[in-house]
Chain A
C-alpha cells in the first residue's frame, strides 16, 4: 500500500485566496512525522512545515498550516493568502520513527498554480 497519497495532481488558486492540498498516509508505526516540501521549477526541495504524530496542536509556519486529523490519517496543507511565488510542486512526506532510518516516503505531489 502507498504510504503517502496525494490525490490532486494539479490545483489552481486565485491570488490572495487560501488553498488546501490533500495528503493521506498509511502507517502502523505509533510514532511518525509528517512533512510538506515545496519544489519550484529549479528543483530544490524547500521544507515548509512539520507535524509530529504526538503533537496535540496543528503545526503552523507563517502562511502555512497543517490540518492534522490523526484518526482519519490525513495531513492536509493549507496555504493562506496565496502568492504568485507559491506556484510549484508540493510534496507530502512521512518518516516512520520505529524503523530508525529517518528516511522520508514521498507522495506523488500536487502542482499548484496561482492565478493572478
Chain B
C-alpha cells in the first residue's frame, strides 16, 4: 500500500522556538495533503489543506501565520509551528491523497508528538 513518511516522530522544544514537521509520500504523488491536530483522547481536527504549488486553505480558528504550510512538490508538504508555546503541544498528523482515479483513500503519516516546554 501507499506509504506516507512523517518526521520527526516526536520533538521537544523550548517555548518561542519554531518546529518544522515534514510529510512525504514515498511511492505516489499527492495532489493534496492535509494536516490534522489531535489532543489526547480526542478526535482528529483538520487544520489545513494544502495543494501542490498553491497556498494552503486553513480551517476556521487556525492561525495561518503560526502554522505555516508549504507544499512545494507533489511528494512533500511541511508544517512549521512558529514561536511555539506550551498550548501548541499536541499530536500532529498529515495525510495525503494520491493523484489520479480511485483515490478515495487518504494515507496517513505516523504522526508527530510535539511537546513545548
Mark the stretch among A13-21, A63-71, A74-82, A95-103 that contacts chain B. Answer: A95-103
Task: Give the number of chain B interface residues (Cβ < 8 Å).
Answer: 23
Decide: B106 and A52 in contact? CB cutoff 8 A: no
Total A-B contacts with CB atoms under 8 angstroms apart: 53
- Tell whether, in the assembled complex, residue B44 and residue A43 are in contact, meaning their CB atoms are under 8 Å apart: no
- CB-defined contacts of A43 to chain B, threshold 8 Å: 91, 93, 110-111, 113
Query: How many of A's residues come within 8 Å of B, CB to CB?
Result: 22
* Complexed CA–CA distance, A52 and B103 (Å): 12
Interface string of B79-117 (1 = CB under 8 A from A): 000000000000101010100000011111111010000
A103 proximity list for chain B (CB < 8 A): 34, 46, 49
Q: A43-B111, A43-B113 are in contact. Are A104 and B43 (CB under 8 A)?
A: no
Q: A45-B93, A108-B43, A109-B43 are in contact. Are A33 and B104 (CB under 8 A)?
A: yes
Name A's B-contacting residues (CB within 8 A).
Answer: 33, 35, 37, 42-47, 50, 52, 91, 95, 101-109
Could you tell me which B residues sit within 8 Å of A by CB distance? 1, 32, 34, 42-46, 49, 57, 91, 93, 95, 97, 104-111, 113
- 3 closest Cβ contacts across the A-B interface? A45-B108, A43-B111, A44-B110
